[in-house]
Structure formats: C-alpha cells, structure tokens
A and B are shown apart, each in its own frame.
Chain A
Amino acid sequence: MRLNRAAWGLTVAAAAGLLLAGCNEGGGTTPSPDASGTSSSTASRSPALKDRSAEVMAGMTAPTEVARTKGKAASELDGATLVIYSLTRTDTSTVLTFALTGPGSGPRLAPGHWPRFPVLKTDKDTYPPVTWLKEPTAEDPWYVVHNPMMWPKADVLTPPQTVLYPSLPAGTTSITLTGTWFEDVTVAVS
C-alpha cells in the first residue's frame, strides 16, 4: 500500500506516542541503556523495561479449520487433504492460510507451478496467486509467494502455510477455491 495510507500510519505513530507518554510505569523516565543516537518514533519518556511476552502473545491460539477439500482424483495431489484455516482480505492482498496432509511424502504445493495453484473465484473474476520473478532467465521463472515448510505426510497436518493472492473486492463474503489440484470448495472471507 502506498501514499493513501500515510495518514493512517501517522495516526498509528501518534497513538503509540500518546500511549507511551501516558502509561509510563512508576511515572518516571527510563533512560536508554544504549545511547547510540538512532532516531525513533517512541515518546521521550520510555516505559518500564520488563518482560512483556505474555501481553504480546495474549489471545493467540492454534488455528482452527473453516473448510477443507480433497485432492482431485488422478491429479498430483490425489489423496491429499487441504485444511483451510482462513482466507483474509485486506485492501492490498488476500492471504490463504492452510495445512496439508499426504498421501505419503510426495505431493506438495510446489511454488514453481503457479498455473496449477488453486485460484479464488468470485461471480465475475478469478484470482491466481501472486507470483515473484525468481530467475528471469530460467525456463520456469515465476514462483508463487508461498514457502512449503515440509513435505506432507499421510494423516499428519503440515505446519500452517500461506499463499498470497490479489486483494478481493471489498465486501466479498465468500469465494470458491478452484483449480486442477483440489475439488472446489467454498470458503468464507474474513
């Protein structure tokens, strides 16, 4: 996202500054332990330095399934199951988060095969995954923005993974995930 978000960013920075200025534990200032002179958007009065891990991770729980589909018969992913955790839209992009099971240790969503990746289908348009130019001189130069962390195994879910898609139109509530690898499935957009 570009300049039209500048005002929003400034709002965030201002809000952060207000929070930092008004919530200093103990009411005093905490000097920086390192006077390296770097710039910062933080307020002049620093909060107390202490472990904030629990606050930072608060509310985070394991992803839960919202939809699933099977690999198409005779496709490279025949026998696999795609477990979908979310399809999240913003004004800049759409992110599919999912896990995959086997069969065996063979198939996976290979990022070099972008034409075979599931596409998002609305009433009017289809949205293939966003791709990046890996090697301009290669036979297969464009890769999906997706990093398969491990090979799927039978009956064991891979870690959560994501695939990046273009931004869906605002107000889209559901799409059909379709393509050559998996049976079509309807997925709610959040």
Chain B
Amino acid sequence: MRITQDVRYRKGEFVKNLRVAAGALATAVLLMPAAAVAAPAPLPTVEGVPVLARAWISNTRDGGSAVLTVHGVRRIEGATVVYFSMGLPKGAPADANRLFSYYGGGFWNTLTVGNSASGAECAVSLLDIAGGKAYSTLPISDANSCLGTKGIDFSPPADKPNAAVVGWSIVAPLPKDVTTVDVFISSQVLPDVPVEDGLLEPVSQDPVPVVGTGWPKIPTARLSEVVDADKAVFPLMSRVQPIDVPVAEAQTSEGVQLEIPASVLFEFDRSDLPPAAGEAIDAAVAKITAAGTSGAITVTGYTDSTGDDAYNQALSERRAQSVLAALQAKLPGTITLTAEGKGEADPIADNGTDDGRALNRRVTITLPK
C-alpha cells in the first residue's frame, strides 16, 4: 500500500484564500479541538499524466496555497530527472503569487549546500534512507546554479487561471537498485515515490507547459556542464533508540551502526569499563548476533571537542580498545574486530552545547554490509 501526503487533506474543508483570512484563520485553527486522522485521499488516475505524490503547499509571501504534484522520478544516463507541477486551486485570487520560489524553495537548509546552488529549482532532493544517502540537484559551472526550470513562474495561461504547469530539476544519478525514494521538494517530504526509466513523453514546445499538454524538454546535453557531481550526494543517518537499552541503531551509508554514549560505558576521563557498562555491552552483543553478523566489525571511539586534541585522540583509542576487548570475549571467533580512535573528529552534534557534546562522546560499532 502506498501512503502519500494526501492523507492530511480532507474533502470539504478547503480554505479558499489564506492571504485574505490569515489572521482569522489562524485564530480559528488554534481554537479547533484535536481531530481524528482523515482517511487518505487516493491519488487520481489521470490519462497520460502520472500522479505519484501530492502536497498542499503555501507560499512565504502572502500565505496563499497551491497544490504540488510529482509526476516523475526518471533515470537517464548520468542523472535523474524530477518532473513536478504546481497549480493554484479554484478560488485563488487572480493576483495570487505564482512564483515557485516563494512556495518553500530551498533557501536555507535544503540539501544544496554542497554545491552552493540556490533557488527552488535547485532545492529538489531524493532520499534513500535504506541506502543512507540523499541525492540533490547537480551543480553546474554557472555559479550558484543547477539544471532545472529557471525562475519558475507558474502563472498559467490567462484563460486558465487554475491550470497547473510543469517544471523539472536534474538530480544526481540514483543507484540502479533504488526503486523508490522520498522526494524532498518545496519544504515537503513526499514519501515512497517510484523511480522509473527514461524521460516523459510527449515533449511540449512550451518550456513550462500546462500539465497534460506534454512535458518540458529536458536539455540532457547540458549535463556536460555538471561540476563536482559528488557534492550533490549527502550522507543520511536514521536512528532508532531503544528506551530500555542504551544502544541506538543507526542506518548510514556505511551500513548499520550501533551507537553507545560514552556516559554509559565510562566514568569521566577513564577508559576502563566498570561493571555498570555490562548491560550496554550485552545489548550490543545481542544486536550484533541478531543481525546475523559475520566478518569484520569496527569499533570506533569519539570524544567531544573539549580539551587537547592529542589527549582526546589517545582517550578515544583506549576506549575503543576496551569495548573491543569486552565484545570479543562474548562474540564467536568468526567475527573479527578492529578498534580505532577518532578523537573529536566527525561530531554528530553541536559541540557548543551540553547535549551536543554528550552525543559526541560515544563509541560506535559498525557492522559489515
């Protein structure tokens, strides 16, 4: 079963004009009691137009709303093309803002930092949590830009004020074995979108066509302008932390990683394991065994950034070695273990805060893929 963003929209509760009614709407919504979850609205079947996911989006200028639809995540040689459309629902004012960049474009924290690209057309990402990677728009030699519909003006033809028009972005190539992704676009994550092969046809002569009248022509020849394509791929980390056991399980691009806070393993500034650390060690052994692990495991120690680099490096190495020894005593000989210390490198949280430093003081156990 595919569940989409549609789940959060309920028929008959359409708000026509958030801009005009912004204050009253906010007050009214704040007074509403909590409601049960609406039944998911099914994605429509539209002749000749794939509808893979939809979201209700609002713009940052006047609060006006629009419907965003993903029509395709399509593999081509050396890249992935994302087709999407945006249209204003019936009742939107004639002067409603239609610039896509005002509807949640990626100006702050979307996955574009590595290529320094900005703008809505550069703020599309494809997320593969199982593989531990996010694939963003490919940067091109033109500074701060990418390959996508430029300066997208979603103004429909004058005689079709509620028409949805189509845009596109070119994203880093996906591995062949990735068959669905979560699409991050316009401040919305649209889950479980299928990946297919080849460009959509037929092609329209209109660079921003009304949906249903053909698809934008994708300038595949311009892929030769791509620079630093590897910067468009970002590691993702997905954690699950058991409540009763101090060993978190993280899905990363390197595979499954177990994380144990240093505070449950070691006393301050020590690297010998006290008896109290036994529970965490046993929990880690259980997880390693349950995963059917064989082969090589790497145990890595980390510190926060407080103190001397060399001291932190040595402390992290000693702590990793202590955990290795404890694990080795409880795991079968078919598993080989290696210990390494990384000191204060590779922080996972802000070393400027107490909670961030606590997270950075850790030991990880990386299981083989």
Q: Which residues of A contact B (CB under 8 A)?
A: 1-3, 5-6, 8-9, 12-13, 16, 19-20, 23, 25, 30-34, 36, 38-42, 46-68, 81, 83, 85-86, 88-93, 95, 97, 101, 111-116, 119, 121, 123-128, 130-136, 139-143, 145-150, 155-157, 159-164, 166-167, 180, 188-190
With contact pairs A61-B13, A124-B242, A133-B234 given, residues A33 and B129 touching in the complex (Cβ less than 8 Å) = no
Of all chain A residues, the one with the shortest Cβ separation from B64 is A159
- Interface contact A1-B180, CB-CB below 8 Å: yes
How many B residues, CB 8 Å from partner? 131
CB distance from B345 to the nearest CB of A (A): 9
In the assembled complex, the Cα of A145 lies from the Cα of B121 at a distance in Å of 18
In the assembled complex, the Cα of A9 lies from the Cα of B217 at a distance in Å of 24
- Interface contact B87-A90, CB-CB below 8 Å: no
With a CB–CB cut-off of 8 A, which chain A residues contact B27? 155
Does B182 sit within 8 A of A, measured CB to CB?
A: yes
Chain A to chain B: the 4 pairs with minimum beta-carbon distance, closest first: A52-B212, A159-B58, A39-B198, A47-B48
Binding site of A, secondary structure by majority: helix, strand, loop or mixed?
Answer: loop
With contact pairs A121-B243, A124-B242 given, residues A59 and B347 touching in the complex (Cβ less than 8 Å) = no
Of all chain B residues, the one with the shortest Cβ separation from A36 is B203
A-B contact count (CB 8 A): 380
- Interface contact A53-B164, CB-CB below 8 Å: yes
- Interface contact A2-B177, CB-CB below 8 Å: yes
Does B151 sit within 8 A of A, measured CB to CB?
A: no
Over the window 7-27 of chain B, the binary record of Cβ atoms lying under 8 Å from chain A Cβ atoms (1 yes, 0 no) is 111111111001000110111
In the assembled complex, the Cα of A8 lies from the Cα of B196 at a distance in Å of 11
Q: Which residues of B contact A (CB under 8 A)?
A: 2-15, 18, 22-23, 25-27, 29-30, 32, 34-38, 40-42, 44-51, 54-60, 63, 65, 67, 69, 76, 85, 87, 89, 103-104, 106, 108-111, 113-114, 123, 127-131, 134, 156, 160, 162-164, 177-182, 184, 187-189, 191-192, 194-205, 210-214, 217-218, 220, 234-244, 251, 305, 346-353, 355-356, 359
Partner of B199, one of A8, A38, A48: A38
With contact pairs A16-B50, A166-B240 given, residues A30 and B15 touching in the complex (Cβ less than 8 Å) = no
In the assembled complex, the Cα of A157 lies from the Cα of B27 at a distance in Å of 9
- Interface contact B47-A47, CB-CB below 8 Å: yes
With a CB–CB cut-off of 8 A, which chain A residues contact B305? 139
- Interface contact B237-A142, CB-CB below 8 Å: yes
With contact pairs A89-B3, A90-B2, A155-B27 given, residues A33 and B204 touching in the complex (Cβ less than 8 Å) = yes
- Interface contact A9-B23, CB-CB below 8 Å: no
CB distance from A168 to the nearest CB of B (A): 10
- Interface contact B189-A46, CB-CB below 8 Å: no
With contact pairs A60-B54, A162-B189 given, residues A145 and B184 touching in the complex (Cβ less than 8 Å) = yes
